[in-house]
Structure 1
Amino acid sequence: MIPKVFLVMVMVGVALAAPEDLYGAPGPQAGYKIPYNFEYGVKDEYAGTDFSQAEESDGNTVTGSYTVLLPDGRKQTVTYIADDYGGYRAEVSYYGEAQYPYEYGPPITFKPQAYKPSYQPPPYQPEPVYQ
């Protein structure tokens, strides 16, 4: 019975002493936070799409905002801050006045286009058969 208990204790000790990352590279779990910043925007007047986002981080705190054009014509902006202590905190604001038309027009549709490859292979000509 004692050898079995000793064997279990050795196995538990080896498991606890083993590194979490077997390859030795520190990962996100090691507490490394990399500063970054990015932004993008899309505006397509034909489809009625208008949205954007900007975000930056110093490695500890993430700040940013995003804007979306709502179907009623208003623009919604969300400004946020996120960190390890306060969590995600956001402020939402709206610009413009909601517009509700009495009559709606036809839906926006896109006509399919025929596929035309830029490369045309030469016509197939079978090899002659010699007998």
Structure 2
Amino acid sequence: MVLKVALLATLAVVATCDSIPSYNPPTPVYGQAAPAPSGPAQYDFNWDVKDEYSGNDFGHQESRNGYDTQGAYYVLQPDGRLRRVDYTVNGDSGFVAQVNYEGEARYPEPTYTTHRPSYTTPRPAYA
């Protein structure tokens, strides 16, 4: 019986509550919709990062005029070579890439050390 009274009281509170949040879609800036595209995409950008402290060297360049896109990016590999990727996208041809490596791969000479333990072996003690 107590459960029924509690349930009825909860339903009465919910039915009389006016502060239930409701969703309203956001209004566009200045009360206007976004403008429609005026034509095919056109852009040209590039960026580079060369950090002498950490040894990072990479960058990207791309330009687009309508459906014709051309670009390249490069990154310094851990072995010292520079990997450069030149690519094109023209309409439905897809992404066509040409990968080139510049420079000679360099690997450091391995250093071999003899491991010697820094502890002494305990000697058995007999009583």
Question: Which TM-score band applies after superposition, normalised by the shorter structure?
Answer: 0.5 to 0.7
Q: How many residues align?
A: 79
Q: Are 2:43 and 1:33 aligned?
A: no
Return the offset for 1:60.
1.4
Residue deviations 1:3-23 (CA, integer Å, cap 9, x gap):
xxxxxxxxxxxxxxxxxxxx5
Deviation at 1:33, TM superposition (A): 2.5
Matched, 1:88 2:95: yes
Q: 1:101 is paired with a residue of what secondary structure?
A: coil
Long gaps (5+) in structure 1: 1-22, 105-131
Query: Residue 56 of structure 1 is aligned with which of 39, 63, 69?
Result: 63
Query: What do residues 10-65 of structure 1 show as CA deviations (whole Å, max 9, x unaligned)?
Result: xxxxxxxxxxxxx58535xxx94220000000000110100011100012111000
Number of the residue aligned with 2:53: 46
Give the C-alpha shift of residue 85 in structure 1: 1.9
Q: CA offset at residue 84 of structure 1?
A: 2.2
Letter of the aligned partner of 1:58 in structure 2?
A: N
Of 85, 102, 107 in structure 2, the residue corresponding to residue 78 of structure 1 is 85
Shift of the alpha carbon at 1:87?
Answer: 0.6
2:107 maps to 100
Unpaired runs of 5+ in structure 2? 1-32, 112-127
Instruction: Compute the TM-score of the two structures, normalised by the length of structure 1.
Output: 0.54
Aligned-residue Cα RMSD (Å) equals 2.0
Name the SS for the 1:77 alignment partner: strand
Q: Which amino acid aligns with 1:37?
A: D
Change in Cα spacing, 1:94 to 1:24, as seen in structure 2 (3 Å) is: closer
* Residues 24 and 46 of structure 1, relative CA distance in 2, 3 Å threshold: closer
One-letter amino acid matched to 1:26? A
